Structure 1
């Protein structure tokens, strides 16, 4: 802890003011304290440093050689501190610096590409590092500013803003259904090969509901388990089985007839796309402005 401790910071500040103003009266006026307070702080600083920093006479004060060196080094440190403080405050007001965003590649290709280009055009002082990953990252360790995900985060220390809702569909390829048959009820799924996204348990459940609010919680045994929705889609297109996929990933396939909705009277719960970031009071402008851009896109 000694490495992080600055002894008598108010005395150091007073000494810098004394060196700049050239007198005890001037330093006292600048700091809005009495002359005796200035004198007492300088004495305490000299006792701590172990050398005389100021030569006092009845008419004026002069810095000793050690005091002159100490003054210039301390002044440099205070100037650096002010510059850093100004830069940090400017970062809160104006987008600049590195913005690190993580998201699955299917969200990048569907929602982020144009936003990244538009944002860097609008704010040339911002550089963006875009990281594609199927699973959520540790935002602190990986220094991620914004993580774009389907579904809310499980970590309660993170803050999440819902950007939009989407409908998940139960889908399969027409070739698979021609071979395996079309399920007529949720219970029929037990007789099909199911492709399950991102779950390590041997048994899990798919929740399906009708428009009349009838709900079935169907146990499913995924013969194929994948942690990437993009790969789930490719497996379904390869006639691998039935899966639940977001509407924005399969709408084109459904229109083209490559995929077909299964159990059209039943639907998984509506889900959402979230912008996730560290819970903190003062977000840099680059983070706030980019999240605002995403919210306007989905509004």
Structure 2
């Protein structure tokens, strides 16, 4: 017995209302439609369709089986289209949104390599610390730091941001070098508004547990680069992704502190809308970012 074919015939009967209309739509005889339904009913040991002269109505079991069968057939079509999509070269415009610092320092270099690998794709990258609405604003994908916060979206985890606490040598010489989280309240901390660091910095303790520690600071910004610039002017302690401060740390403009208390990494996700037929350009981007992100 071809279960998928029987389910397809049954769903068509349910949606057209009778065997004759279903037969016409499927290109088979009404007698053959009846045989498919009978096979299903024998297999399930229950009646799915109440047969009348003009119309076939679903039984209670038939209504339940119809909803589930429809979902199964949609999943089969999706699986088939996924394979078909792999055989189609990615092309067209990809509109992507990303936070400013992450977008400029991480996403943009990744996209440059992506375009080299996929010459028929064009990319439009918009940098904004505001979370865009993919539906309303017409974006194919967005990069999110922290919780996704939208159950309409599919989220693919990327490599998380490894964080570091640091300051300039001049600041540390003037105010001292903190060694434990308890000392944070005695320092001026530069606070990232978007990441809710005004509530404290979440650190991994020496025993492996995590705690959120309260801060003392008068400088708050929603932009990481603005906070970095302030830190370089000896304004206070800075918690930022290591990749954004690599040059500053390497040349000694910044010095990492409290290395026994590692900041909890920030999760990063590539988000997009679910699509019944996967688009090769988006599928290729998802795969490329998963494999090539090396920050």
TM (normalized to structure 2)?
0.64
Is the Cα–Cα contact under 8 Å of residues 162 and 274 in structure 1 kept in the other structure?
yes
Is the partner of 1:236 in helix, strand or coil?
helix
Partner of 1:22: none
Worse-matched range after superposition: 105-114 or 166-175: 105-114
Q: Of 244, 249, 254, which aligns to 2:244? A: 249
* Alignment of structure 1 residues 55-94 onto 2, 5 Å: 93-94=88-89
Determine if the alignment matches structure 1 residue 154 to structure 2 residue 149: yes
Partner of 1:295: 290
Is the partner of 1:216 in helix, strand or coil?
strand
CA RMSD of aligned residues (A): 3.0
Which of the two has higher C-alpha Rg?
1
Please report how far the alpha carbon of residue 199 of structure 1 lies from its aligned counterpart in structure 2 after TM superposition. 4.6
Between the two proteins, the alignment pairs up a number of residues equal to 217
Q: Of 100, 110, 117, which aligns to 1:105? A: 100
Partner of 1:259: 254
Q: Of 188, 191, 207, which aligns to 1:196? A: 191
Seen in structure 2, the aligned counterparts of structure 1 residues 205 and 101 have a Cα distance that, compared at 3 Å, is same
Q: Of 133, 140, 146, which aligns to 2:135? A: 140
Q: Of 153, 164, 168, which aligns to 1:169? A: 164
Q: Of 194, 209, 216, which aligns to 2:211? A: 216
Q: Distance in 2 between matches of 1:270 and 1:102?
A: 21
Q: Distance in 2 between matches of 1:232 and 1:119?
A: 30
Seen in structure 2, the aligned counterparts of structure 1 residues 215 and 239 have a Cα distance that, compared at 3 Å, is same
Please report how far the alpha carbon of residue 193 of structure 1 lies from its aligned counterpart in structure 2 after TM superposition. 1.0
Structure 1, unmatched stretches of 5+, are 1-28, 35-88
Q: Deviations over 1:30-80 (max 9, x none)?
A: 99599xxxxxxxxxxxxxxxxxxxxxxxxxxxxxxxxxxxxxxxxxxxxxx
Is the Cα–Cα contact under 8 Å of residues 93 and 284 in structure 1 kept in the other structure?
no
Q: Distance in 1 between matches of 2:141 and 2:87?
A: 16
Structure 2, unmatched stretches of 5+, are 1-23, 30-83
